[in-house]
Amino acid sequence: MASTHSQVSLQTHRTPTSSLPSPAQPGPFGHKQRKNFFMPEGKTEFNHGSYGTFTRSVQENMMKWHNLAEENPDRWVRLDLKPALTKVRTQLAEFMNCDRDELALVQNTTVGVNTVLRSLDFAPGDRILQLSTGYISVDKTVHYICDTHRDVQIIEVPIVMPLTDHEIVFHIEKVIQEHLAKKDGSRIRLAMIDWISSVPAVLHPIKALVDMLRSYGILVFVDAAHAIGQVPIDLTYLNPDFLITNCHKWLYSVRGSAVLFVPKRFQNSIHPTAIQGDYKSGSFELEFSWNGTMDYSTILSIEGALDFRKQYGEDAIIHYCHRLAVEGGEKMAEILGTNVLTPHEQQVGNMVNIRLPIKNINHPKIETPDYLIRLLLDKYNLFAPSYKHGGYFWTRVSSQIYLELGDFVHLGHVWKEVIDELNAEDS
């Protein structure tokens, strides 16, 4: 539980109300929320999706665990740590609608992906299916598996947005059918599928994809790095074979906190990347509950994040951020005279992609991201990532409860000024 001081502090930050916020009456969100976070005056955060951020109350919760460990390390490690981790898994199991004993707490998505891929016993002829829009660390891990196993290869599905949900499913199934038609003795053993891809940021029809892939006998690993805190998660309904999600991106826990879902049917095969004394000596979670001497307070801060979200209502947070992303993206596209990448609203979570009207997408200044990163941070005291996709330049803007529509308008004008200067150099 969050400390009494945390609860009192949060309550004093809220306007009096007789009920929790709802999708119909969300809030108080927007700039009133800035005082709950650590952003300095004048700094506007549009890149929550990359590294997340946490509230003051979550930091207090983290420090509670940190101090407990420092006050009595022997008691903490030998008696109190594992029950504390079990409590957090219990809270997450309720939040994600699954069995507590099918969850393991890890540092981040990269660790979770490596845990599963390096545990599975790949055989010659196995193929791993992935999308061209998959996250680079996942892609490199898949390449590592192929490099260290004989005749294990990648089947990549090219994805260029915009596509409808139906088209995404169709393109992936078409590649599967083309592979089956070869009849070369190989099999697609595993599919790596984003719930919400990073670049471009697109919310995928994840239930339809899981069901379709499993109908072909393919194991499905859902990369849900961006999912928890951005969309509702019901693992009993989704029923993936594996899933990993970062709690420090959108749930508001401290960086270095994620949760890995492994159903009991696979737990005998999945082991942590760092093997320790509990290897094969007890339950699945026991192997993951001690990763050696480290600070576990970041992982345990998930408790504080869940407490903070309860103050405002999960549906209200999700609804506010989604609506702001949709409306903010449209407003920025209007300012820039362009368009959003995904016209289908159900493909937008809390991140929206807006096309940047750069005439020369191969302009030497933007061949590497450094120029735009430094310019936005140093001159404008803000940042939103940009990238190439489908022959255009885009910016990915993260919506969050501390932002308002006016912030998107401001960012739109900043990007217009930056791009006008770039385009003038090519005139």
pLDDT greater than 70 at residue 9:
no
Which pLDDT tens digit goes with each residue over 160-211? 999 999 999 999 999 999 999 999 999 999 999 999 999 999 999 999 999 9
pLDDT greater than 70 at residue 376:
yes
pLDDT at 427: 66
Q: What are phi and psi of 227, to 5 degrees?
A: -80, -55
pLDDT at 233: 98
pLDDT at 20: 53
Question: Are 46 and 397 within 8 A, CB to CB?
Answer: yes
Q: Which helix (H) or strand (E) holds 326?
A: helix 314-336
E-assigned strand segments in 134-216:
153-157, 187-194
pLDDT greater than 70 at residue 14:
no
Domains for the chain: give ranges and CATH numbers: 82-306 (3.40.640.10), 315-425 (3.90.1150.170)
Which pLDDT tens digit goes with each residue over 231-252? 999 999 999 999 999 999 999 9
pLDDT at 306: 98
Say how far apart CA 254 and CA 350 lie, in whole Å: 19
Instruction: Answer with the residue of higher pLDDT: 358 or 283.
Output: 358
pLDDT at 10: 31
pLDDT at 283: 84
7 pLDDT band (50/70/90 cuts)? very low
Six-digit token string for 155: 């089947």
